[in-house]
Amino acid sequence: MALAHILDGLADYLQHRIEEGERWAEISPATLAALRQPAGALHHSPAPARTAPAIAPPASPRPVPAAPPPVAPAPDRTPRAAPPPTSVPVAHPPPAPPATRAPATPAVATDRAPYTRFGTTPALDAIASRVAACQQCGLCKQRQQVVPGQGNPHPELVFVGEGPGADEDQQGLAFVGRAGQLLTRMILAMGLTREDVWIGNVVKCRPPENRTPLPDEMAACLPYLRAQLEILQPKVIVALGATALKGLLDVQTGITKLRGHWLSFEGIDVMPTYHPSYLLRSGGDSGASSRYWDVWEDLSAVLQRLGRPVPARKKPAPPAG
């Protein structure tokens, strides 16, 4: 009972000191003796002298609970099993958007046979840039565009013609006029497309009025063609007409005698045949013409040399009479 009485008195004493605005209290023996008196007497007894606390109170006020805090129990030092590892979600990057394919280079808008600028290489681009800046002969003075050649940069088959015409000079592409339409039909008849082959000319600028290139003009342009063929490395070259054959091989024999006979240019097989414009002028662009079938015979030999099948084509019967 004495201990309970003391504790009750202590609680009343502390509450009284809090109400007087005090935040620290030091219990002296006199105070402890006063606590033994009845609880009501505590509020009228003078406050005992207090000494400065050992530790200065902090500058900022701190809330004091109405009742003394309970004594914390001794920590449990019994070893405990480690908690199971917590599964931490791994942040995954958002899925990449679906790859988009670059749009294919559109075909040039024309009512002629379709074709595209199929592809190129840095080496071929470098030659085309040199051709564009070339002024080694008089053909550069009136050209609209140079025509370096275009097609598959890794072809088995290359067609080489004489020089650009009016349509080629305007568009900067080889064989896009009427002769180009016929050449496209010839290539399709072989089971190929223009995208499978490379097409160029002996001279890169249009001669006036589509005349035959002069010897100095061909001499100025031939180094470009030779450099292109060295990069392309085709298996077969089809020389379209006498001028192309003369530019490549410097032969004087006519195309009529040499067409259909295998020749060689720096280790590459060459098949001479008629130029498509010659077929157009002579009416040989139809299946009823013997010139047409001469060309088809030459192209069939090219397919065989490449190890490709020769599409079946039925030669029409000659006209009666």
The CATH number covering residue 192 comes to: 3.40.470.10
DSSP, collapsed to helix, strand or coil, labels residue 243 as: helix
- Check whether 243 has a pLDDT greater than 70: yes
Kindly state the DSSP code that residue 118 receives in the 8-state scheme.
Answer: -
Contact 204, 221 (CB under 8 A): yes
Query: 186 in a domain, yes or no?
Result: yes
Query: 275 in a domain, yes or no?
Result: yes
Q: What is the pLDDT of residue 111?
A: 32
Q: What is the pLDDT of residue 275?
A: 96
CA distance 70 to 68: 6
Q: Measuring CA to CA, which residue among 116, 130, 231 is closest to residue 184?
A: 116
Query: 114 in a domain, yes or no?
Result: no
Judged by average pLDDT, the poorest of 22-31, 39-48, 159-168, 306-315 is: 39-48
**In total, how many domains does the chain have?**
1
Query: 30 in a domain, yes or no?
Result: no
Other CB atoms within 10 Å distance of the CB of residue 256? 12
- Check whether 313 has a pLDDT greater than 50: yes
Query: 66 in a domain, yes or no?
Result: no
CA distance 97 to 246: 56
Query: 321 in a domain, yes or no?
Result: no
Contact 289, 283 (CB under 8 A): yes
Query: 131 in a domain, yes or no?
Result: yes
List residues bridging with 119 in a β-sheet: 151
Query: 83 in a domain, yes or no?
Result: no
**Domain that residue 290 falls in:** 122-306
130-150 pLDDT, tens digit per residue, is 999 999 999 999 999 999 999
